Structure 1
Amino acid sequence: MAQDSVGFSSDYQFWMQKLSVWDQASTLETQQDTCLHLPQFQEFLRQMYEVLKEMDSNTIIERFPTIGQLLAKTCWNPFILAFDESQKILIWCLCCLINKEPQNSEESKLNSWTRGLLSHILSAFRFDTKEVGLFTQGLEFTPADYYPGLLKNMVLSLVSELRENHLNGFNTQRRIVPEKIRLLSRICIPLVTLPDIEPLVEALLTYHGHEPQEVLCPEFFDAVNEAFLLKKISLPESAVVCLWLRHLPSLEKATLHLFEKLISSARNFLRRIECFLKDSLLPEAACHPAIFRVVDETFRYALLETNGAPEVIAAIQVFTGCFVEALEKKNKQLKFTFKTYFPYGSPSLVVVLLQHPKEIPQELWHQPLKHISEMLREIVEDQTHRSHGGPFECWFLFIHFGGWADIAAEQLVMSEAEPPEALLWLLAFSYSPCDGSLQRAQTMAEVKAVLIRLKKLLGSPSLSAKDLQAAAAESRDRDPRPPLCQQLIRRLLLNFLLWIPRAHVIAREVLTLLAPTDELTHEMTGFLDQTLYRWDHLRMEATRPRKLARELLSELCPAGTAV
């Protein structure tokens, strides 16, 4: 390029004078002269970029002290910017002026001034309509039609160049310098919510060069993520996945944003939670193991912070259901093994838990329940299996598929045989995973005793609410039941009310006795909502229990019942 520098310097002076004339006059003759010389001026811009890209910003200012004036006059000339090719070359020329590591206030000031011009180019619709009135009238265009078209064409040009650069990444003759892409992402920050800018935002998010470090600036990721979470921008799933994979803070913020929605009201029904989850795109994005692990760890932290709150457990189960559904839709042969998603769990246990109950005849549900219980018990109580984590890790894996515990409770209530130890152990573990063997055995004994007393009532000529309350009451000669054990027995009693036809007539009275406080009413509401949600997903034929559950739920929570 050295041999052309002399010719370029003379051209530089010529075009500097031309721009001054064009800038000072806005007559029809001046506009015609601008349009007449545009092809030559575009060629000059190309030559200038070839010269500037070989220098650092300080050298450019020393060599061409008036370069700022020339570029500013060009940027503010609407006839020049009417061509997207001019816009693109101008952007690269301005990027050459930016100092990556400004050493003083003057260099920082120049950077700020240059970015201002770049932002102006990308918001070309703000041009002064008076300056191009004759031009647009001659073409029979209104400004409302014309200026957005300029922006759209410029965006499409940049998108095309990014994609071409992506496909020809190792062709050094055509590659875009990483710093230019980084600066382009910075320019887009204040404009990400503009609909016409969305294709460029998507192209930047899905652009993958061959650089070892991230080329897009963090502030760009923050701005796009914020706009997406607030529904100010619409992006395809592929672009959102790229955003969250490339910028961990954005993924963490998206997960916390979801949690804020889940806890924003006193009572969120599971169908509403499912809508929140699917709307967030997190279950679909979680099909990538790296994203799943981050979301799942957030759930784990929330579980520990809330001491196993039922609402958090329910949200985990709904998320897992949406995630598995998305995974099956995307790849029925499963691109990643489930060990990748659940690295701390026993692979064989994960496979068993993944069996959907609706794919198994109801009369055979006791078989997978027994298998799950035996596998969990072996891992939890046998020290030789500690490689799969302690009780909490096993429980955390199990509650992802917690519908099995609810089915176990129903099976215990409906079965006429003596309560199987495997199901008793599974329920005791699901409600209090960190208990020792002795304490868990006491819980199992309490549950078994209550179940036996409830079944004895079925043989009595009459059944009253007081009878059921007495059957579930604590024995006076024993220590008070732990809170979690009391909660488990309340769940069994509610199942008894739903599944035993004789109990339907006294269900409301029993519910009044069970829920004397707001806290217990909240617990009953959660159980009924969760039960109806599970029955719907299992497509269970339970007409009378379903009808009763809906009626009870409506009475407990008349406002916002969504079943």
Structure 2
Amino acid sequence: MCAHCFLQCLAGPFSKMAQDSVGFSSDYQFWMQKLSVWDQASTLETQQDTCLHLPRFQEFLRQVYEVLKEMDSNTIIERFPTIGQLLAKTCWNPFILAFDESQKILIWCLCCLINKEPQNSEESKLNSWTRGLLSHILSAFRFDTKEVGLFTQGLGFAPADYCPGLLKNMVLSLVSELRENHLNGFNTQRRMVPEKIRFLSRVCIPLVTLPDIEPLVEALLIYHGHEPQEVLWPEFFDAVNEAFLLKKISLPISAVVCLWLRHLPSLEKATLHLFDKLISSQRNFLRRIECFLKDSLLPEAACHPAIFRIVDEMFRYALLETDGAPEVLAAIQVFTRCFVEALEKKNKQLKFTFKTYFPYASPSLVMMLLQHPKEIPQELWHQPLKHISEMLREMVEDQTHGSYGGPFECWFLFVHFGGWADIAAEQLVMSEAEPPEALLWLLAFSYSPRDRSLQRAQTMTEVKAVLGHLKKLFRSPTLSAKDLQAAAAESQARDPRPPLCQKLIRRLILNFLLWAPGGHVIAREVITLMAPTDELTHEMTGLLDQTLYRWDHLCMEAPKSRKLARELLEELCLAGTAC
């Protein structure tokens, strides 16, 4: 198999040949009749006749291409209504297709038939039919032994191995040239000219899902020339990205990163595809979100700062469009956790500083948020929480720190590491000491970042009063649901209490139920009272799932609390209103 000759032909164009229309038409009819006779290639005489006429037929195919390349697909069908029959008969004749020269010319001709912007179903069907023929040309054929026995025996190949071997050698040769490897044992390096690369990517468009073509697709993606503009066809990127998203091909992460860096629409489509999966499926528990994210390869690819910034920006828009929907907040937190995990695995010594990923954030705040609570003794968790709160508060309430983007940007950064807010809520309920103002501010800010200082201070006052009542009940041997109702309503200073403030207090009461010794007994009754609607049941389900997910990653040893949380979650799901 001469792959270099194949490339020379791909470089095109074929030499132009002067052909009068009458002569070409006569040749066209002659070869149509010949192809009909050769159709089955079942007799020795037919096979011999095919081999005898093959050089002339290949010359005719060249002429066909010279004519077709000057027309659009619609004109081709109008001028040559039987061109499909001619090319199809050629594609399905094993004795013609056994020569790589025939394969090259056929690929050129078939590419001319593809309509890049089909306007109706007929044009779409023609595209599909043409891609099928292209796939057939470069796929691992299964010829009958009787049909190709004479030909392959003469070459020393087994019939079942000949065409797959032909394709494999072709692909390996192309990959070698793309990677500038030494060829044929000579110490010379060859570089493909941009026109060859561009055409090769065009030929691969309908073939990207063929397993044998995957090495070539990967080599094209990771190829980096010195051209000022992109040499690969945009449609090639689209086809590869779609096949990857639909799991029709498997690509290494290096190739996926190259795809998304070189073609921004593909990265955007991949992110939107992930959003669609998160939205269209059933209630997404965090474990399932984590699986979706890792399967998408987006967190791993985001180790490249340019990809991270684009994906993060799309999360920002999703957050704004949904007005801070809990599902989006959860997705951002899980994405960030998976991203940091991939980054640590990929770079023990970080290639990029975190300033590259969060350019508008305070570097000291980012480093504080990046601390993994698991690596800090539980009795010392209040220290990083206090520092995080103080830094955020200074940036949010002190106008001199406007370079960090204001309240929303600070909150958006904190959302990425929202596990710290969950820990703060838990610490406030479990601690016997006076609630630290820093933790109260952090919770109030995380739940309602749009509040001004006065509104936030009112929320902090109400939360502090509720916590005071809960602390009195924490060690009580006997509890009732009415006690907790009183704790939630007793100090209500605003009427009605803002929804986000109510949500924060429900979170504190749930933590109380999971950690207070007497809370386990009344947990089911309280949950029923707290979640009388589907919306509130959905909220409670999310909080329980979030709690279990965090405990798993922190390796929290709380058998009784964990058992209760799991049982409550299962019961809410079985109710069928939230899952």
Q: Judging changes above 3 Å, is the alpha-carbon distance between structure 1 residues 10 and 478 closer, same or farther for their aligned structure 2 residues? A: closer
Q: Which residue of 2 aligns with 1:95?
A: 111
Of 314-323 and 175-184, more deviation after overlay is shown by 175-184
Of 283-292 and 154-163, more deviation after overlay is shown by 154-163
2: CA distance, partners of 1:552 / 1:519? 16
Q: Judging changes above 3 Å, is the alpha-carbon distance between structure 1 residues 160 and 134 closer, same or farther for their aligned structure 2 residues? A: same
Q: CA deviation at 1:554?
A: 1.1
Q: CA deviation at 1:387?
A: 0.2
- 1:495-537: CA deviation from partner (whole Å, max 9, x where unpaired): 0111111211111111111111111000000000000000000
Q: CA deviation at 1:154?
A: 2.2
2: CA distance, partners of 1:25 / 1:554? 66
Q: CA deviation at 1:122?
A: 3.2
**Structure 2 unmatched runs, 5+:** 1-16
Q: Percent of pairs identical after alignment? A: 91
Contact 1:95 1:180 (8 Å CA) reproduced: no
- 1:224-280: CA deviation from partner (whole Å, max 9, x where unpaired): 111111111111111111111111111111111111111123411100111111111
SS of residue matched to 2:179: helix
- 1:259-304: CA deviation from partner (whole Å, max 9, x where unpaired): 1111123411100111111111111111111111111111111100
Q: Judging changes above 3 Å, is the alpha-carbon distance between structure 1 residues 419 and 13 closer, same or farther for their aligned structure 2 residues? A: closer
Q: CA deviation at 1:186?
A: 1.6
Of 56-65 and 544-553, more deviation after overlay is shown by 56-65
1: CA distance, partners of 2:438 / 2:148? 82
1: CA distance, partners of 2:26 / 2:227? 38
Q: CA deviation at 1:172?
A: 11
2: CA distance, partners of 1:110 / 1:405? 57
Q: Judging changes above 3 Å, is the alpha-carbon distance between structure 1 residues 248 and 507 closer, same or farther for their aligned structure 2 residues? A: same
Contact 1:92 1:180 (8 Å CA) reproduced: no
Of 209-218 and 476-485, more deviation after overlay is shown by 476-485
2: CA distance, partners of 1:454 / 1:346? 36
Of 484-493 and 110-119, more deviation after overlay is shown by 110-119
- 1:289-348: CA deviation from partner (whole Å, max 9, x where unpaired): 111111111111110011001111011111100000000111111111111111121111
2: CA distance, partners of 1:108 / 1:309? 40
Q: Judging changes above 3 Å, is the alpha-carbon distance between structure 1 residues 242 and 30 closer, same or farther for their aligned structure 2 residues? A: same
Contact 1:192 1:201 (8 Å CA) reproduced: yes
Of 466-475 and 297-306, more deviation after overlay is shown by 466-475
The alignment yields a C-alpha RMSD, in angstroms, of 6.0
Of 297-306 and 170-179, more deviation after overlay is shown by 170-179
2: CA distance, partners of 1:367 / 1:16? 84
Contact 1:166 1:209 (8 Å CA) reproduced: no
1: CA distance, partners of 2:78 / 2:502? 81
Contact 1:168 1:175 (8 Å CA) reproduced: no
Of 109-118 and 120-129, more deviation after overlay is shown by 109-118
> TM-score, normalised on structure 2?
0.79
Q: Judging changes above 3 Å, is the alpha-carbon distance between structure 1 residues 5 and 174 closer, same or farther for their aligned structure 2 residues? A: farther
Q: CA deviation at 1:374?
A: 0.3
Q: Judging changes above 3 Å, is the alpha-carbon distance between structure 1 residues 158 and 257 closer, same or farther for their aligned structure 2 residues? A: same
Contact 1:28 1:134 (8 Å CA) reproduced: no
Q: CA deviation at 1:64?
A: 20
Contact 1:293 1:341 (8 Å CA) reproduced: yes
2: CA distance, partners of 1:139 / 1:246? 43
Q: CA deviation at 1:462?
A: 3.2
1: CA distance, partners of 2:452 / 2:434? 24
Q: CA deviation at 1:453?
A: 1.1
1:447 to 463, 484, 493: 463
Q: Judging changes above 3 Å, is the alpha-carbon distance between structure 1 residues 101 and 405 closer, same or farther for their aligned structure 2 residues? A: closer
2: CA distance, partners of 1:62 / 1:267? 53
SS of residue matched to 1:166: coil
- 1:443-499: CA deviation from partner (whole Å, max 9, x where unpaired): 000000000011122465632110111111164663321100000000000001111
- 1:402-461: CA deviation from partner (whole Å, max 9, x where unpaired): 000000011100111110000000000000111100000000000000000111224656
State how 1:95-174 maps to structure 2 within 5 Å.
Answer: 121-123=137-139, 125=141, 132-136=148-152, 144-164=160-180, 174=190
Q: Judging changes above 3 Å, is the alpha-carbon distance between structure 1 residues 169 and 449 closer, same or farther for their aligned structure 2 residues? A: farther
Q: Judging changes above 3 Å, is the alpha-carbon distance between structure 1 residues 35 and 464 closer, same or farther for their aligned structure 2 residues? A: same
Q: CA deviation at 1:352?
A: 0.4
Q: Which residue of 2 aligns with 1:422?
A: 438
Q: Judging changes above 3 Å, is the alpha-carbon distance between structure 1 residues 175 and 54 closer, same or farther for their aligned structure 2 residues? A: farther
Of 484-493 and 498-507, more deviation after overlay is shown by 498-507
2: CA distance, partners of 1:48 / 1:264? 49
Q: Judging changes above 3 Å, is the alpha-carbon distance between structure 1 residues 480 and 9 closer, same or farther for their aligned structure 2 residues? A: closer
Of 183-192 and 156-165, more deviation after overlay is shown by 156-165
Of 375-384 and 108-117, more deviation after overlay is shown by 108-117
SS of residue matched to 2:420: helix
Contact 1:166 1:208 (8 Å CA) reproduced: no
Contact 2:469 2:487 (8 Å CA) reproduced: yes
Contact 1:463 1:502 (8 Å CA) reproduced: yes
1: CA distance, partners of 2:462 / 2:475? 21
Q: Which residue of 2 aligns with 1:396?
A: 412
1:194 to 206, 210, 224: 210
Q: Judging changes above 3 Å, is the alpha-carbon distance between structure 1 residues 492 and 70 closer, same or farther for their aligned structure 2 residues? A: closer
Contact 1:344 1:388 (8 Å CA) reproduced: yes
Of 339-348 and 357-366, more deviation after overlay is shown by 339-348
2: CA distance, partners of 1:383 / 1:101? 53
1:405 aligns to 2:421 (yes or no): yes
2: CA distance, partners of 1:461 / 1:65? 90
Contact 1:22 1:34 (8 Å CA) reproduced: yes
2: CA distance, partners of 1:267 / 1:392? 28
Of 248-257 and 167-176, more deviation after overlay is shown by 167-176
Q: Which residue of 1 aligns with 2:352?
A: 336
2: CA distance, partners of 1:547 / 1:62? 73
1: CA distance, partners of 2:185 / 2:410? 46
2: CA distance, partners of 1:457 / 1:353? 33
Q: Judging changes above 3 Å, is the alpha-carbon distance between structure 1 residues 109 and 454 closer, same or farther for their aligned structure 2 residues? A: closer
Q: Judging changes above 3 Å, is the alpha-carbon distance between structure 1 residues 96 and 493 closer, same or farther for their aligned structure 2 residues? A: closer
Q: Which residue of 1 aligns with 2:402?
A: 386
2:228 to 212, 226, 233: 212
- 1:192-233: CA deviation from partner (whole Å, max 9, x where unpaired): 111111111111111122111111111111111111111111
Contact 1:163 1:207 (8 Å CA) reproduced: yes
Of 161-170 and 370-379, more deviation after overlay is shown by 161-170
1:269 aligns to 2:272 (yes or no): no
Q: CA deviation at 1:150?
A: 2.8
Of 357-366 and 49-58, more deviation after overlay is shown by 49-58
1:309 aligns to 2:337 (yes or no): no
Q: Judging changes above 3 Å, is the alpha-carbon distance between structure 1 residues 385 and 8 closer, same or farther for their aligned structure 2 residues? A: same
Q: Judging changes above 3 Å, is the alpha-carbon distance between structure 1 residues 109 and 408 closer, same or farther for their aligned structure 2 residues? A: closer
The count of residues paired between Structure 1 and Structure 2 equals 563
Of 139-148 and 415-424, more deviation after overlay is shown by 139-148
- 1:370-425: CA deviation from partner (whole Å, max 9, x where unpaired): 00000000000001101011101000000101000000011100111110000000
Q: Judging changes above 3 Å, is the alpha-carbon distance between structure 1 residues 29 and 214 closer, same or farther for their aligned structure 2 residues? A: same
Q: Judging changes above 3 Å, is the alpha-carbon distance between structure 1 residues 305 and 166 closer, same or farther for their aligned structure 2 residues? A: farther
